[in-house]
Amino acid sequence: MSKPAAPLKGRAARLARLMPSTGPSTAARTPFVLLVVLLLGGGLITLLLLNSALNEGSFRLSELKRETTELTDEQQALQRDVDSRSQPDALERRARELGMVPGGSPAFLDPDGTVRGNPTEATAPPPSPSPNPTPSPRASAGAAPDPDVTGASGSAPVAEPDSAAESDSATAPAAESPPPPMSPGR
């Protein structure tokens, strides 16, 4: 039979103590190593998902900023349009284009039904003298009559009402002169 191994002495004994034995200790390390690897892998995957979520939010934020800038520009342009059309001279010009005239002095009704003030009819101011454009030969040869000048039925403008009909002018709409014709350039 074989003789049992002699115990190591000296330097060899010290080296043997430093070297781990191949027994049950390696089996105990395997679950710990797997746990560390899983924790590191899970951390990396979580970090990757968090980074992509932040990038997606960054893209959405830049898109919303661009949209906000466009909407702000549009709102400012609309505000400029409103401001330009709200100026008194622009309102007066537009009202004249629509055929409106400045009102006369107003009258007020008191709660008991009496009229306070002296109402007057609003009349159009005389048109400012403007040079009449000379009609071109092409336009006068076969041009249709202007509906603003001849009226809706194609006949001459309605004559001024007589004095008896003027008393009813407060209740009936005035059919006086039509508004001045607009230039074709507008």
d(CA 56, CA 48): 12
Joined together, the tokens standing for residue 3 give 């003789």
Model pLDDT for residues 4-43, shown as the tens digit of each residue: 566 777 777 777 777 766 555 566 788 899 999 999 999 9
Q: Is the dihedral of CA 82, 88, 93, 99 positive or negative?
A: positive
Q: What is the pLDDT of residue 154?
A: 46
Model pLDDT for residues 126-182, shown as the tens digit of each residue: 766 666 666 665 555 555 555 444 444 444 444 444 444 444 444 444 445 555 555
CB 124 within 8 A of CB 95: no
